[in-house]
Amino acid sequence: MSEEALIKNWEQHPMLRPRIEKVVVNLNVGKSGEPLEKANTVLKEITGQTPVKRKAKKTIRDFGIREGESIAVVVTLRKQKAVDFLKKVLPVVDNKVSKSSFDVRGNFAFGLKEHIEIPGVKYDPEIGIFGMDVCVSVNRPGQRIKIRRKRNQPVGPKHLLTPEESIVFIKQTLGVEIV
């Protein structure tokens, strides 16, 4: 289907219109202690939400990581906060996302090398510079029936989101160029 046909179909059938379900921002430090606390403050400042610490799943002696040790901080943004964050962060990557960044279900991810490139964030020599991963989950209304606890049901194949539909939606809502 062409872009115009997809958009017209979404207007006729609102349950087919994609939406941004959530944005997960991951800032991996690789060690606990003071660097993790600095990363925590950076993520809290950028997103406006309290981050959650993530623990290592296994021990890697070469990197000095022990199982169960906190090594990363993560924030999940939903609804309007997610869209606002994407509009703030996408200019850092020149509003371009690679087509290979999209998965089979239309979700996509990209990374930032330095958090200080985000507009409104200033460099603090005491904190340093961190990179982060941004994962965006895109789906349609009605996907909850697949993941709910009680009476979960499969979603029909015609209702599943394709990467092409997701690309059209992201271009339309966020003004992103797909490379």
**CA 155 to CA 60: how far, in whole Å?**
39
Instruction: Dig out the tokens for 108 from the structure.
Output: 């996509």
Q: Which amino acid is at 16?
A: L
Is the CB of residue 36 less than 8 Å from the CB of residue 73?
yes
> Which pLDDT value is given to residue 24?
94
**121 conformational bin, left if phi > 0, alpha if psi -120 to 50, beta if neither:** beta
Structure letter (DSSP) for residue 129 = -
Domain ranges, ordered by start, for the chain: 22-141+157-178
Instruction: Dig out the tokens for 104 from the structure.
Output: 């089979």
**CA 139 to CA 55: how far, in whole Å?**
28
CB atoms within 10 A of CB 33: 10
> Which pLDDT value is given to residue 135?
94
> Which pLDDT value is given to residue 80?
92
CATH number of 22-141+157-178: 3.30.1440.10
Mind listing the pLDDT tens digit of every residue in the chain (179 residues)?
788 888 888 889 988 899 999 999 999 887 778 888 888 988 898 888 999 998 888 888 887 778 888 888 999 999 999 999 999 998 888 888 888 989 998 899 999 888 888 888 888 888 888 888 999 999 999 888 888 899 999 988 888 888 999 999 999 888 888 88
